[in-house]
Amino acid sequence: MTLLPQELIRLKRDGHALPPEAIEAFIAGLTEGRVTEGQAAAFAMAVFFRGLSLPERVALTRAMTRSGTVLTWDLPGPVLDKHSTGGVGDTVSLALAPMVAACGGYVPMISGRGLGHTGGTLDKLDSIPGYATAPDVDLFRRVTREVGCAVIGQTPDLAPADRRLYAIRDVTGTVESLDLITASILAKKLAAGLQGLVMDVKAGSGAFMASAEEARGLAESLVTVANGAGLPTRALLTDMDQPLASAAGNAVEVAYALDYLSERRREPRFHAVTLALGAEMLVLGGLSADTRDATARLEEALASGRAADIFARMVTALGGPADLIEHPERHLPRAPVIRPIPAPTAGRVVAIATRYVGVAVIGLGGGRTRPQDGIDHAVGLTALAGLGDEVGPDRPLAIVHARSEAEAARAEAAILAAYRIGAEAPAAREPILERVG
């Protein structure tokens, strides 16, 4: 059944189910330029309000997957990946890909740009001078085969319909749609030819799905659709009521990941989430019998330096500097204004409106308000205080990295509004909330 784009939009706007062939035709039109940006935005908004049934969700995912090349692999180990639904200070991918590769997996990770208030792995990698975030498919294959992992963005060949719709969702208030998130994530992963996928589904004030119930629904959607499409998938629900790392931005998060891999810094919450996701990947790929063994192998990959070495080799193979891990200060951009954000009063951090920490980074220029906007990779926040941390004259809420004093002042106001200080620390919340699948 072929429908004009406006007719398909009208049907979904009015709550009707869309035939699979109509969805296929709409996505083909989006890929080929016959569907306009306005029509794609209207479709996204109709889906946001009306939702998709499971068959519609599967049809949309398959259509977006088939909008470009679907990779196949012939490698001596399992082809695995991890994907996060997005958060603040979530730079796990940069550390986890080389850790899993050091344990015998192959990780061809296709990442996205920032979406809404959350940072994007691809924008972070663009902080690295010379690093090719959009290599051709042959280079992507070669680096994955020879190094063990390659973290890149969508090439023009892989799920091109998703790339276009992704940018439109970012600036039209339709990011949080469970249906569109599911199709967007899985289209890229299915196109990458994976044999196993672990999802990190965030819940909390900095997540797209703020409640555990909403996050569980998304996790179940992802696991159901992915397994139905033949991709073995598991999901972890993880906490995003505070930034996962103490850094939020682009270059500052790359520096954080480098410190983690080289054992210069090892924050407990970030470490716990990284190990838990990696352990699920190793078990899913048959590289470990259980998560206890998998965790030990990942710890050893870090302690031995193999994970850091693989990351360095990946950066070099994709055009970046060979000494990035040893000397990040030589290569990563640095903001001209770097200063603390003092706490308004002494006490303990009792709550963080984490979403607005991410919004503050966008306000500094570290994210987008329009698809065509550029990004200032140098700006961001470091030394972010976490829940329960004691703050006061000797411990600021954060350190701001800004292009100007005026922008630093605006970020300071946003952070002061996002943090609540009290007398007693709140009850500790485990970073891993649930396992699905």
Q: What does the alpha-carbon distance between residue 238 and residue 240 come to, in Å, rounded to a whole number?
A: 7
In the three-class reduction of DSSP (H, G, I as helix; E, B as strand; rest coil), residue 125 is classed as helix
Is residue 292 classed exposed, middle or buried when 0-12, 13-18 and 19+ CB atoms within 10 A define those classes?
Answer: exposed
Q: What is the CA radius of gyration of the chain?
A: 21
Say whether 184 is catalytic: yes
Per the CB < 8 A criterion, the answer to whether 134 and 4 are in contact is no
Token pair, residue 135, equals 């290599």
Token pair, residue 205, equals 């004030």
Token pair, residue 256, equals 């954080």
Q: State which H helix or E strand residue 347 sits in.
A: strand 347-352
Residue type, 411: A
Helices (H) and strands (E) in the chain, counts: 16, 13
Say whether 12 is catalytic: no
Cα-flanking dihedrals φ and ψ of residue 421, to 5°?
-110, 140
Per the CB < 8 A criterion, the answer to whether 350 and 421 are in contact is yes
Degrees, nearest 5: CA angle 141-146-151: 55
Q: What does the alpha-carbon distance between residue 68 and residue 28 come to, in Å, rounded to a whole number?
A: 10
Q: How many residues does the chain have?
A: 437
Which entry of 31, 67, 121, 127 is annotated as an active-site residue?
121
Say whether 121 is catalytic: yes
Calculate helix-pair angle for 54-65, 160-170, nearest 10 degrees. Answer: 120
Residue with tokens 């109509």: 22
Q: Which residues, including other chains, have CB under 8 Å from residue 342's CB and lie 6 or more apart?
A: 393, 396, 397
Residue with tokens 């829940």: 387
Which entry of 66, 83, 124, 141 is annotated as an active-site residue?
83
Which entry of 66, 124, 163, 188 is annotated as an active-site residue?
188
- Could you tell me which residues are beta bridge partners of residue 348? 390, 422
Q: State which H helix or E strand residue 333 sits in.
A: none
Q: Which residues, including other chains, have CB under 8 Å from residue 224's CB and lie 6 or more apart?
A: 54
Which entry of 12, 31, 62, 81 is annotated as an active-site residue?
81
Say whether 202 is catalytic: no
pLDDT of residue 114: 63
Say whether 169 is catalytic: yes
Say whether 189 is catalytic: yes
Which entry of 85, 133, 184, 288 is annotated as an active-site residue?
184
CA distances from 102 to 3, 97, 98, 99, 126 (A): 49, 9, 6, 5, 24
3-state helix, strand, coil split of the chain in percent (to 5) is 45, 15, 40
Which entry of 141, 189, 216, 377 is annotated as an active-site residue?
189
Token pair, residue 318, equals 């994709």
pLDDT of residue 371: 62
DSSP 98: H
Say whether 216 is catalytic: no
Pairing mode, strands 196-203 and 107-111 = unpaired
Q: What does the alpha-carbon distance between residue 431 and residue 244 come to, in Å, rounded to a whole number?
A: 9
Q: What is the pTM of this model?
A: 0.88
Q: What is the block-wise mean pLDDT of the chain (437 residues), using blocks of 10 residues?
A: 88 96 95 94 96 92 92 96 91 97 96 70 93 92 97 84 87 86 89 94 87 91 89 96 96 97 95 98 98 98 98 98 96 98 97 95 84 85 97 97 98 98 92 93
pLDDT of residue 159: 87
Which entry of 12, 66, 82, 368 is annotated as an active-site residue?
82
Per the CB < 8 A criterion, the answer to whether 396 and 343 are in contact is yes
Handedness of CA 125, 127, 130, 136 (dihedral sign): positive
- Could you tell me which residues are beta bridge partners of residue 118? 115
Q: Which residues, including other chains, have CB under 8 Å from residue 417's CB and lie 6 or more apart?
A: 353, 356
Give the chain's domains with CATH numbers: 5-51 (1.20.970.10), 80-328 (3.40.1030.10), 334-422 (3.90.1170.30)
DSSP 385: P
Residue type, 142: R
For 332-372, the pLDDT digits (tens) are: 999 999 999 999 999 999 999 999 999 999 999 988 766 66
